Amino acid sequence: MWCVAELNEEYIARMEDVLKIYEKPLSEREPVVCVDEKPVVLHANVRPPRPMRPGRIARRDCEYERRGTANVFCGVQPKAGRHFTKPTPNRSSPQFADYLVEIVASYPKADTIHLVMDNLSSHNRKALVDRFGEKIGGLLWERFTVHYTPKHGSWLNQAEIEISLFSRQCLGQRRIPTLSGLRREAKAWNRKMNRNHVTINWQFTRKKARQKFGYERNNIMRSET
């Protein structure tokens, strides 16, 4: 359940901008990609689990050992069913910059890539410039048209749905002790999602937002008009 912040002009303008992009038809020239991050705690079994056998379910000891943390970048092109899942040691700016390079490489023929994300401090042009230099980093950033969700409005990012799918279908209740193991599991899950072209059926539109929150179209910031 999401708690919506106070609806000021900035919140409404950003919400309408994101929803407008979601309403665009699927386009190879202007793909819409949503990205976000998920922290993952790595756990190892202290004692070997007991395997399943006839008449008895598999068992594992309640005791476990923490093995640190990792990060998973989760990205999705919702209408096309393309998925971009990448575990990393952390969510630092260099890791994020490398992740964006992989997204750019996935759309070589696109005129622009509409990128939906939140306002995390590393989600900006500086991350690419610091990583690859002003010229290359700047050119990479220009491949995107960025759409930031409002503050306290991450519910508008369809990557949140992607994170939920990844958490339930890939991670589940299993204990994954290493980053390399997490990468193997994420790669297998990502391959399956892309093979099956799993899409997201987003139905919350600008019209529904205006009805739900009770604001008028002409109350939106002039930058939208």
* pLDDT tens per residue, range 86-130: 999 999 999 999 999 999 999 999 999 999 999 999 999 999 999
| Domain assignment of residue 174, yes or no | yes
Q: In whole angstroms, give the CA distance from residue 94 to residue 13.
A: 30
| Domain assignment of residue 106, yes or no | yes
| Domain assignment of residue 82, yes or no | yes
- What was the pLDDT predicted at 62? 65
Size (the chain), residues: 225
Kindly give the interhelix angle for 159-166 and 179-195, rounded to the nearest 10 degrees.
Answer: 110
Residue of 103, 182, 112 whose CA lies nearest to 145: 112
| Per-residue confidence band for 156, with pLDDT thresholds at 50, 70 and 90 | very high
Residue holding tokens 């609806």?
Answer: 7
Q: What is the mean pLDDT of the chain?
A: 90
State the residue range of the domain holding 159.
25-46+60-112+153-201
Is 128:141 a contact under the CB 8 Å cutoff?
Answer: yes
| Domain assignment of residue 144, yes or no | no
Average pLDDT estimate for 204-225? 75
Q: In whole angstroms, give the CA distance from residue 66 to residue 183.
A: 18
- What was the pLDDT predicted at 2? 58
| Domain assignment of residue 85, yes or no | yes
| Domain assignment of residue 140, yes or no | no
Q: In whole angstroms, give the CA distance from residue 25 to residue 31.
A: 9
Average pLDDT estimate for 20-37? 97
| Domain assignment of residue 96, yes or no | yes
Domains in the chain: how many in total?
1
Q: In whole angstroms, give the CA distance from residue 67 to residue 108.
A: 38
For residue 139, how far is the Cα from the chain centroid?
A: 23
- What was the pLDDT predicted at 59? 67
Q: In whole angstroms, give the CA distance from residue 32 to residue 158.
A: 10
Is 42:176 a contact under the CB 8 Å cutoff?
Answer: yes
Does residue 49 or residue 78 have the better pLDDT?
Answer: 78
| Domain assignment of residue 33, yes or no | yes
CA atoms within 13 A on the CB side of 62: 0
Q: In whole angstroms, give the CA distance from residue 11 to residue 28.
A: 29
pLDDT tens-digit profile of 32-69? Answer: 999 999 999 997 766 676 677 787 776 666 666 777 99
Burial track 144-155 (b if 16+ CB lie within 10 A, e otherwise): beebbbbeebbb
Q: In whole angstroms, give the CA distance from residue 93 to residue 122.
A: 5
Question: What percent of the chain stands above pLDDT 90?
Answer: 73
